[in-house]
């Protein structure tokens, strides 16, 4: 960073005698409230918000059209066919569920490890998690062909005595993802209660007073309330921590339990979890770099926060790179002809382009974060994180499509051609995601005020 | 009021809400489980027929065999409804002037069939073959109930998919020798079975405890013997019935 007028915003220095401040500028406790609540109290959101909302709603409409077209005509509107029976729907599902992992990691695991820098970003990351899981949940719901019996995914007693296959990871997925969504939502809402109460107490308009009043469920900020709040938060953090690891492990079983070469590998669960955290953090950075700028939160979501996330992206990106390499090693070392072929075909076969997009976006570009100059530069991190988002989508595409397109029997090999509706559904799911995120920015405090204040020097008066 | 506080009456809402949610969940569960079950919607269906034909009289009292009228039941997937001529075989002489039989005479004269109303109606996507079941020794009674006691025929069993699967998974309780399929009162004792089926006695001898079984156990063993002898291993694959 240049040592210009904005240098006070750079708290990425490395003086070990001093803890880097997490709130910059001459902000006291009240200023934090003013800044965060100001965003939602502003009678007119910025032009940028309106433009963003218009684009998001347009994409949401595209999604709506694609889904209704799918319902009316059937799954034939997608490019799935023999031999590639799993196409964009599962790719998008895994992509979105993966993104949903950053929120819980930040709010649960970093909380248990007392990483105070999480406070600046945990609220928006959790919100992002919930919206990503909503996007993910969309795809299993619409891909079933007969949407009117979609409830058959759940083990409900019925006169047909018909149950989902309990030995199938696809059913475990239903439980894993719905549990994850429920716990994430509860966690998010629990953290929101004190902040919503602040918004309620500052609200001028009657409707806002009542609306936020109901959401704040009677929070008065008494000692007893805080005591119970902290307890509940700790319990939920402990509950969510194993979920961070379990959900994507179960998702990886969708592939690993099958016998297809390229899927049937024991490295899948840890490799998927690392990839999920990797993509989730990339999405948080992608959202927060513009959001902190447009909403004037640079003093709360500081460069140090972003740098820390970039470090995690570097670590998890390297883990993903290691997994890619290990897959090749095991394919050679295992000596199974089909397995060896599957991986050589991945890198040099008909989908070589997808494979190399994946490798360059996920393994090569994140290595730039070894350089402090680049991992603290907003444009650089934005570009790298966008590339990671692209790369992680392609990772799921590569896993799903290459293995299916050329399995054991050369006579059943075939190429996969996605259709226009495949693409509009994918793009439309971003519309759903951004619509929800923009609504969140407009109506809920996007920084956990109460928690940020606990990390400020003013919260530790003994030091003065 | 500077800011919103929950008014006092909301304290009672908590109770109402809790009770309401619990009651709703129970109500909906029961409604779906019992209200929409074929046990409720289908069992007991007894449509009025154009002629008040009594199975109780013809089967129960006069002792007609099922196959006298439903001739194709053991040779085709479909159990045929008898043509008017079958009825006329007897009713040309018996009660030829009966008021109740007017539609029958009309049908006989015009050549148009009597418009019987179907009682047991499976959905079109479920394939069912009567002959496959009758030939292997599943009694008529197992699915149709005690027709010999029915003044008006009604649906006795649910005919739901789960009901089909119950028997496909465990067919033994419904097996009998194929020649007894139409017997409405088939209820043999162990001794009767031993006296009548020498190969069953031989089968019993192969069992370790074959000679010490009580009567009910012997009947059970007989049904197992039938299953083995007739090689009855019903499939539960989807494509067995949904072709």
pLDDT tens for each residue of B220-231: 999 999 999 999
DSSP category for residue A261 = T
* Residue A33 CA neighbour count, 13 Å, CB half: 15
The shortest CB-CB distance from A161 to any of B3, B33, B165 is to: B165
Does residue B107 contact residue B113 with C-beta atoms inside 8 Å?
Answer: yes
The shortest CB-CB distance from B4 to any of A157, A158, A200 is to: A200
Using N-to-C axis directions, what is the helix angle for A29-41 and A420-443, rounded to 10°?
Answer: 130
What is the rounded distance in angstroms from the CA atom of residue B197 to the CA atom of residue A332?
65
pTM: 0.88
Across the A:B interface, residue pairs with CB atoms under 8 Å apart total 36
CB-CB neighbors (< 8 A) of B158 in chain A = 159
CB-CB neighbors (< 8 A) of B33 in chain A = 157
Does residue A129 contact residue A104 with C-beta atoms inside 8 Å?
Answer: yes
Identify which of B71, B87, B79, B83 has the alpha carbon closest to the alpha carbon of residue B111.
B83
Identify which of A367, A38, B170 has the alpha carbon closest to the alpha carbon of residue A375.
A367
Identify which of B126, B160, B127 has the alpha carbon closest to the alpha carbon of residue B143.
B160
CB-CB neighbors (< 8 A) of A209 in chain B = 3-4
The chain A residue lying nearest B37, using CA atoms, is A159
Contact B160 A212 (CB under 8 A): no
What is the rounded distance in angstroms from the CA atom of residue B7 to the CA atom of residue A12?
49
CB-CB neighbors (< 8 A) of B6 in chain A = 213-214, 218
Backbone angles phi, psi at B138, to 5 degrees: -95, 120
Residue bearing tokens 């070589």? A352
Residue B119, token pair as written in the block: 């009682």
Residue from A149, A161, A165 to probe the interface with B (highest B Cβ count within 10 Å): A161
Identify which of A461, A458, A440 has the alpha carbon closest to the alpha carbon of residue A127.
A440
**Residue pLDDT, tens place only, B90-108:** 999 999 899 999 999 999 9
Contact A218 B6 (CB under 8 A): yes
Contact A159 B158 (CB under 8 A): yes
The shortest CB-CB distance from B160 to any of A160, A201, A218 is to: A160
Query: What pLDDT was estimated at residue B3?
Result: 67
Query: What pLDDT was estimated at residue A6?
Result: 55
**Residue pLDDT, tens place only, B174-192:** 999 999 999 999 999 999 9
Query: What pLDDT was estimated at residue B2?
Result: 61
Query: DSSP string of A92-130?
Result: HHHHHHHHTHHHHIIIIIHHHTT-GGGGGTHHHHHHHHH
Does residue A263 contact residue A399 with C-beta atoms inside 8 Å?
Answer: yes
| Residue B5 forms contact with A (CB below 8 Å) | yes
CB-CB neighbors (< 8 A) of A160 in chain B = 160-162, 165
Query: What pLDDT was estimated at residue B40?
Result: 85
**Residue pLDDT, tens place only, A129-168:** 999 999 999 999 999 888 999 988 889 888 888 899 999 9
The shortest CB-CB distance from A161 to any of B5, B38, B161 is to: B161
CA of B178, closest CA in chain A: separation in Å? 28
Using only the alpha carbons of chain B, give its radius of gyration. Answer: 26
Q: Which residues contact A405 (CB under 8 A, 6 or more apart)?
A: A83, A84, A350, A351, A413, A414, A415, A416
Q: What percent of chain B has pLDDT over 70?
A: 99
**Residue pLDDT, tens place only, B15-64:** 899 999 999 999 998 998 888 888 888 899 999 999 999 999 999 999 99
Instruction: Please state the rounded mean pLDDT for residues B133-147.
Output: 94
The shortest CB-CB distance from B4 to any of A159, A162, A209 is to: A209
Instruction: Specify the 3-state DSSP secondary structure of A80.
Output: coil
Residues lower than pLDDT 50 in chain A: 1-5
For residue A158, list its beta bridge partners. Answer: none
Query: DSSP string of A266-280?
Result: TTHHHHHHHHHHHHH
CA of A279, closest CA in chain B: separation in Å? 39
CA of B222, closest CA in chain A: separation in Å? 28
For residue B175, list its beta bridge partners. Answer: B138
- Quick one: A249 exposed, middle or buried, by C-beta within 10 A (0-12, 13-18, 19+)? buried
Query: What pLDDT was estimated at residue A2?
Result: 44
Helix and strand numbers (H, E) in chain B are 13, 0
CA of A224, closest CA in chain B: separation in Å? 18
- Quick one: B82 exposed, middle or buried, by C-beta within 10 A (0-12, 13-18, 19+)? middle
| Residue B157 forms contact with A (CB below 8 Å) | no
Contact A213 B6 (CB under 8 A): yes
**Residue pLDDT, tens place only, A201-247:** 898 888 998 999 999 988 989 999 999 999 999 999 999 999 989 99
Long-range contacts of the stretch A450-454 (C-beta < 8 A, 24+): A450/A194, A450/A195, A450/A198, A451/A119, A451/A122, A451/A191, A452/A22, A452/A23, A452/A32, A452/A119, A452/A120, A452/A300, A453/A29, A453/A32, A454/A116, A454/A119
DSSP category for residue A457 = G
Residue bearing tokens 């992206």? A313
Query: DSSP string of B75-141?
Result: TSSS-PPPPHHHHHHHHTTSSTT-STTHHHHHHHHH-PPP-PPPS----TTS---HHHHHHTTB-HH
In chain A, % helix, strand, coil (3-state, to 5) comes to 75, 0, 25
Contact A158 B3 (CB under 8 A): no
CB-CB neighbors (< 8 A) of A221 in chain B = none
Contact B3 A161 (CB under 8 A): no
What is the rounded distance in angstroms from the CA atom of residue A143 to the CA atom of residue A75?
7
What is the rounded distance in angstroms from the CA atom of residue A106 to the CA atom of residue A117?
9
Whole-complex ipTM: 0.74
B residues 58-77 lying closer than 8 A (beta carbon) to A: none
- The answer to whether the peptide bond before residue A83 is cis (omega within 30 degrees of 0) is yes
Identify which of B119, B60, B54, B61 has the alpha carbon closest to the alpha carbon of residue B87.
B54
CA distances to A129, A254, A304, A329, A333 from A336, in Å: 39, 21, 47, 12, 8
Contact B4 A159 (CB under 8 A): no
Mean pLDDT across chain B, nearest whole number? 92
Using only the alpha carbons of chain A, give its radius of gyration. Answer: 23
Identify which of A386, A395, A394, A393 has the alpha carbon closest to the alpha carbon of residue A366.
A386
Instruction: Specify the 3-state DSSP secondary structure of A307.
Output: helix
DSSP category for residue A391 = H
B residues 188-207 lying closer than 8 A (beta carbon) to A: none
CB-CB neighbors (< 8 A) of B162 in chain A = 158-162
Does residue A424 contact residue A65 with C-beta atoms inside 8 Å?
Answer: yes
């Amino acid at each position: 960073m240049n040592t210009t007028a904005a240098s006070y915003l750079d708290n990425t220095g490395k003086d070990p005698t001093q803890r880097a401040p997490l709130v910059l500028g001459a902000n006291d406790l009240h200023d934090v409230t003013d800044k965060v609540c100001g965003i939602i109290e502003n009678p007119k959101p910025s032009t940028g918000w309106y433009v963003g909302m218009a684009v998001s709603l347009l994409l949401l409409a595209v999604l709506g059209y694609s889904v209704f077209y799918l319902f009316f005509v059937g799954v034939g509107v997608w490019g799935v066919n023999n031999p590639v029976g799993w196409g964009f729907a599962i790719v998008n599902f895994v992509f979105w569920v993966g993104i949903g992992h950053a929120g819980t990691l930040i709010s649960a695991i970093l909380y248990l490890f007392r990483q105070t820098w999480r406070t600046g970003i945990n609220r928006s990351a959790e919100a992002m998690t919930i919206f990503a899981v909503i996007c993910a949940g969309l795809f299993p719901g619409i891909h079933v062909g007969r949407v009117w019996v979609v409830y058959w995914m759940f083990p409900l007693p019925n006169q047909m005595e018909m149950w989902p296959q309990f030995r199938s990871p696809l059913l475990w997925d239903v439980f894993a993802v719905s549990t994850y969504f429920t716990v994430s939502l509860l966690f998010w809402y629990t953290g929101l209660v004190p902040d919503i109460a602040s918004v309620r107490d500052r609200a001028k308009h009657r409707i806002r007073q009542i609306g936020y009043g109901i959401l704040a469920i009677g929070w008065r900020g008494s000692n007893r309330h805080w005591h119970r709040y902290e307890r509940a938060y700790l319990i939920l953090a402990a509950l969510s921590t194993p979920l961070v690891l379990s959900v994507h492990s179960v998702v990886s079983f969708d592939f690993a339990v099958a016998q297809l070469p390229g899927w049937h590998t024991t490295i899948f669960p840890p490799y998927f979890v690392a990839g999920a955290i990797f993509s989730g953090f990339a999405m948080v950075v992608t959202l927060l770099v513009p959001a902190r700028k447009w909403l004037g939160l640079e003093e709360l979501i500081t460069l140090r926060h972003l740098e820390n996330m970039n470090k995690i992206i570097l670590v998890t990106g390297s883990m993903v790179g290691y997994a890619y390499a290990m897959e090749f090693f095991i394919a050679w070392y295992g000596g199974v002809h089909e397995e060896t072929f599957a991986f050589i075909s991945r890198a040099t076969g008909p989908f070589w382009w997808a494979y190399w997009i994946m490798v360059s976006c996920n393994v090569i570009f994140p290595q730039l974060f070894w350089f402090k100059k680049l991992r603290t530069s907003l444009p650089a991190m934005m570009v790298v994180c966008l590339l990671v988002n692209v790369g992680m989508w392609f990772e799921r595409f590569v896993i799903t499509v290459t293995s299916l397109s050329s399995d054991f029997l050369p006579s059943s090999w075939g190429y996969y051609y996605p259709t226009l509706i495949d693409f509009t559904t994918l793009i439309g799911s971003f519309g759903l995601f951004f619509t929800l995120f923009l609504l969140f920015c407009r109506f809920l405090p996007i920084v956990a005020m109460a928690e940020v204040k606990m990390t400020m020097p003013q919260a530790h008066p003994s030091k003065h | 009021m500077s800011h919103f506080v929950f008014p006092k009456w909301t304290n009672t809402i908590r109770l109402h809400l809790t009770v309401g949610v619990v009651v709703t969940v129970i109500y909906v569960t029961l409604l779906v489980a019992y209200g929409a079950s074929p046990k409720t919607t289908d069992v007991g269906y007894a449509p009025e027929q154009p002629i008040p034909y009594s199975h109780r009289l013809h089967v129960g009292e006069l002792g007609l065999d099922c196959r006298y009228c439903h001739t194709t039941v053991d040779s085709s997937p479909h159990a045929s409804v008898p043509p008017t001529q079958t009825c006329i075989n007897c009713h040309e002489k018996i009660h030829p002037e009966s008021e109740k039989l007017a539609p029958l005479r009309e049908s006989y004269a015009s050549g148009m069939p009597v418009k019987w109303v179907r009682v047991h109606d499976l959905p079109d996507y479920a394939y069912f073959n009567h002959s496959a079941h009758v030939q292997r020794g599943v009694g008529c009674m197992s699915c149709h109930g005690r027709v010999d006691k029915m003044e008006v025929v009604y649906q006795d069993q649910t005919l739901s998919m789960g009901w089909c699967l119950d028997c496909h998974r465990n067919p033994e309780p419904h097996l009998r020798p194929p020649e007894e399929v139409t017997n409405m009162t088939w209820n043999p004792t162990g001794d009767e079975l031993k006296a009548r089926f020498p190969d069953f006695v031989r089968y019993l001898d192969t069992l370790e405890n074959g000679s010490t079984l009580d009567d009910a156990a012997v009947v059970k063993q007989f049904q197992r013997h039938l299953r083995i002898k007739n090689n009855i291993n019903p499939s539960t694959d989807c494509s067995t019935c949904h072709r």
